[in-house]
Amino acid sequence: MEDNLLTIHNLRTSFRINGRFHRAVDGISLTIHRNEVLAIVGESGCGKSALALSIMGLHPPDQSAVEGSIDFQGRNLLQLSTSELNQIRGKKLAMIFQDPMTALHPLWKVGRQIEEPMKYHSMLSTKQRRQRTLELLKLVGIQKYKQVYQQYPHELSGGMRQRILIAIALACDPVLLVADEPTTALDVTVQAQILELMKELQRQSQTGILLITHDLGVVAEMADRVAVMYAGEIVELAPAEELFRHPRHPYTQSLFHSLPSSNERKQKLHAIEGIVPAIENLERAGCRFAPRIPWIAEKGHDAEPVLQEIAPGHFVRCSCYQHFYLPDGKEEKDVSAAAT
C-alpha cells in the first residue's frame, strides 16, 4: 500500500537474563499507516515497551537481540548502523517517553533541548532554530513560551514537561511518532489536555502515531486501530470502535470486565486468574492465555494459534474465543486462586 509508514515483520526481541536470551516480543507483525493512530495495549511485561524501543533501536546491543524486519521508508531499520539510524531518529521517526520527570536532561535549559535535534537534522541557523523552538513551544500550548525557553526542567510541572517532550519530538516534522505511555504519569485533567493536543497536532500534520499504553481509556480517546498484546504476542487486532464494541479474544474481554467503570457499582470485578508469566518461564507452545482461563477445555484452543481475520480488519489469535464465557459462578474461588 502507498500510505504504509512502518511495516514490522515477525519482530522478535530477546533480552539476556542470567546468560540466556528470552523473547519479550515474540513474532509481531504490524503495519502503521499514514495519518493513523495505532495503539498497542497490554499490561506490564507484555512486551509493548520492548516493541517501541526495538523500533527506535534503543535496546542496549550487548543485552538484547532484535530479529525480523522493520521497514520504514524503504529501509529496514534493523539493518542500519547506529549512525545511519541517527539520520532517521529524531527526524522522520520520533519518540515521546513515559516519564516527563526523568526524560529531560536536568542540567540543560528547555530551549537547548528542543533545538538539539534540529542541530543534527536541519540546515537551520542558530537564530532560525531558536525561532522554530519558540514556535514549537507555542504550538504545544505553552503560553509563556519565551520564559519557558529559558527555564530548567525542574522548574516546570509534569504536564509542562510532557508538552516539551512533545515539542522535541515534533521539532523536525516526523512522519511517525512512537509514544510510550505518554500520559501515565499525569493527572486526569492534564492527561485529557495532552491527549487533545496530540490529536490536534496529528490531525494537522497527518503524522502516524504508535501509541503504547496500558490504559484502555486512553486507547478509546486516541486510537484508530488497536493491537492487544499478551505475553509477547498480539492476541487481537481491530479497528478501535470494533474492538470496544465487540472484543473477542478472552484476554481482551477479561480486561474490559476487570475495569471498575464497566461493572455495576459494588459488584465484584472480574479478576483474571493467576499472574502474567515471567518471560523466563513462559510456555512457548499453544495458546499462551490458556493457563489463565482453565475452565475452557483444552480442545477449545488451537495447537498452534495464529491471528485469523474474523471480520474485515479484525484479527484474533486462537479459536478459544469461540467458546469463551466468563465464569460467573466461580468468582468466590477467584480471589484466593488468583493469589497463589
Interacting stretch for another protein, rule CB under 8 A, among 65-73, 200-208, 268-276, 303-311?
268-276
- Residue 297 touching another protein (CB under 8 A): no
**Given the DSSP bridges, would you call strands 225-230 and 37-41 parallel, antiparallel or unpaired?**
parallel
Out of 20, 265, 285, 299, the only residue in the binding site for another protein (CB under 8 A) is 265
CB of 80 to another protein, least distance (A): 12
3-class DSSP assignment, residue 329: helix
Sign of the Cα torsion 43, 281, 178, 190 reads positive
The answer to the question of residue 277 lying near another protein (CB under 8 A) is: no
Please pick, from the candidates 44, 125, 204, 281, the single residue that binds another protein as defined by CB under 8 A.
44
Binders in 137-156 for another protein, by CB under 8 A: 152, 154-155
Q: Is 217 exposed, middle or buried (0-12, 13-18, 19+ CB in 10 A)?
A: middle
- Asked if 309 interacts with another protein (CB under 8 A), we say no
Three-class SS of residue 66? strand
Least Å from the CB of residue 179 to another protein = 11
197 scored as a contact of another protein (CB under 8 A): no
Q: Does 281 bind another protein (CB under 8 A)?
A: no
Beta strands in 60-197 (DSSP E): 64-72, 75-76, 93-96, 176-180
Amino acid, single-letter form, for residue 247: P
Residue with Cβ nearer another protein (61 or 304): 61
Contacting residue, 56, 167, 231, 307, with another protein by CB under 8 A: 56
> Where does this chain touch another protein (CB under 8 A) — which range of 28-36, 124-132, 139-147, 184-192?
184-192
Interface pick for another protein out of 124, 197, 220, 282 (rule CB under 8 A): 220
Q: Is 312 in the site for another protein (CB under 8 A)?
A: no
Q: Is there binding between residue 123 and another protein (CB under 8 A)?
A: no
Which of the residues 66 through 85 are near another protein (CB under 8 A)? 82-83, 85
Find out whether 23 and 14 touch, Cβ atoms under 8 Å.
yes
CB 187, min distance to another protein, A = 4
The answer to whether residue 259 forms part of the interface with another protein (CB under 8 A) is yes
Write down the least CB distance from residue 322 to another protein, Å: 22
Q: How far apart are CA 174 and CA 91, in angstroms?
A: 6
Angle of CA points 226, 13, 281, to nearest 5°: 95
Count the helix, strand and coil residues of the chain and give each as a percent rounded to the nearest 5: 40, 25, 35
**From candidates 158, 282, 310, 323, binder to another protein by CB under 8 A:** 158
In contact, 210 and 176? CB cutoff 8 Å? yes
- The least distance separating another protein from the CB of residue 336, rounded to whole angstroms, comes to 5
Alpha helices in 23-157 (DSSP H): 48-56, 82-88, 110-121, 126-139, 145-149
